[in-house]
Amino acid sequence: MTGQTPRLEIRNLTRRFEGRAVVDHVSLSILPGQVTCLLGPSGCGKSTTLRMIAGVENQDAGEILVDGAVICDSHTHVPAEHRRIGLMFQDFALFPHLSVADNVAFGLTGPAAERRARVETMLDRVNLRRFIDAWPHELSGGEQQRVALARALAPGPRIMLMDEPFSGLDNRLRDEIRDTTLAVLKDSGTAVLLVTHEPDEAMRMADDIALMRDGKIVQQGAPYNIYNAPVDREAVAFFSDVNVIRGTVQGALTETPFGQFLAPGVADGQAVDIVIRPQHLKIDFDRNGSGPLATVQDGTPARGVVVRARFMGNESLVEFRMDHDGSLIKATVPNVFLPKPGKPLWLTIRRDRCFVFPAAG
Ligand SMILES: Nc1ncnc2c1ncn2[C@@H]1O[C@H](COP(=O)(O)OP(=O)(O)OP(=O)(O)O)[C@@H](O)[C@H]1O
Ligand SMILES: [Mg+2]
Is 60 exceeded by the pLDDT of residue 1?
Answer: no
Looking at all shown ligands, the one closest to residue 43's CA atom is 1
- Over pLDDT 90: what percentage of the chain? 73
Range of the domain at 347: 240-358
Assess whether 324 and 189 both reside in one domain. Answer: no
- Return the pLDDT at 127: 87
Residue nearest to atom 5 of ligand 1 (CA): 17
Q: What is the CATH number of the domain that holds 220?
A: 3.40.50.300
Decide whether any atom of ligand 1 lies within 6 Å of the 48 Cβ: yes
- Return the pLDDT at 238: 87
Is 60 exceeded by the pLDDT of residue 39?
Answer: yes
Residue nearest to atom 30 of ligand 1 (CA): 43
Q: What is the CATH number of the domain that holds 304?
A: 2.40.50.140
89 Cα–ligand 2 center, Å: 9
Is 70 exceeded by the pLDDT of residue 55?
Answer: yes
Q: Is residue 2 part of a domain?
A: no
Assess whether 87 and 110 both reside in one domain. Answer: yes
Decide whether any atom of ligand 1 lies within 6 Å of the 47 Cβ: yes
- Return the pLDDT at 153: 87
Assess whether 269 and 215 both reside in one domain. Answer: no
Average pLDDT, the chain: 92
Assess whether 55 and 78 both reside in one domain. Answer: yes
Decide whether any atom of ligand 1 lies within 6 Å of the 19 Cβ: no
Q: For the segment 218-271, what is each residue's pLDDT rounded down to a tens digit?
A: 999 999 999 999 999 999 998 889 999 999 999 999 999 999 999 988 999 999
Is 90 exceeded by the pLDDT of residue 93?
Answer: no
Q: For the segment 146-182, what is each residue's pLDDT rounded down to a tens digit?
A: 899 899 889 989 999 999 888 777 777 788 888 888 8
Task: Please say which residue of 218, 237, 256 terminates a domain.
Answer: 237
Task: Please say which residue of 237, 257, 282 terminates a domain.
Answer: 237
- Return the pLDDT at 2: 60
230 Cα–ligand 1 center, Å: 25
Assess whether 41 and 92 both reside in one domain. Answer: yes
3-state per-residue secondary structure call for the chain: CCCCCCCEEEEEEEEEECCEEEEEEEEEEECCCCEEEEECCCCCCHHHHHHHHHCCCCCCEEEEEECCEEEECCCCECCHHHCCEEEEECCCCCCCCCCHHHHHHCCCCCCHHHHHHHHHHHHHHCCCHHHCCCCHHHCCHHHHHHHHHHHHHCCCCCEEEEECCCCCCCHHHHHHHHHHHHHHHHHCCCEEEEEECCHHHHHHHCCEEEEEECCEEEEEECHHHHHHCCCCHHHHHHHCCCEEEEEEEECCEEEECCEEEECCCCCCCCEEEEEECHHHEEEEECECCECCCCECCCECCEEEEEEEEEECCCEEEEEEEECCCCCEEEEEEECCCCCCCCCEEEEEECHHHCEEEECCC
Q: For the segment 111-120, what is each residue's pLDDT rounded down to a tens digit?
A: 999 999 999 9
With the most atoms of ligand 1 within 8 angstroms of its CB, the residue from 23, 46, 218 to mutate is 46
Q: Is residue 3 part of a domain?
A: no
Q: For the segment 302-314, what is each residue's pLDDT rounded down to a tens digit?
A: 999 999 999 999 9
Please state the rounded mean pLDDT for residues 5-28: 96
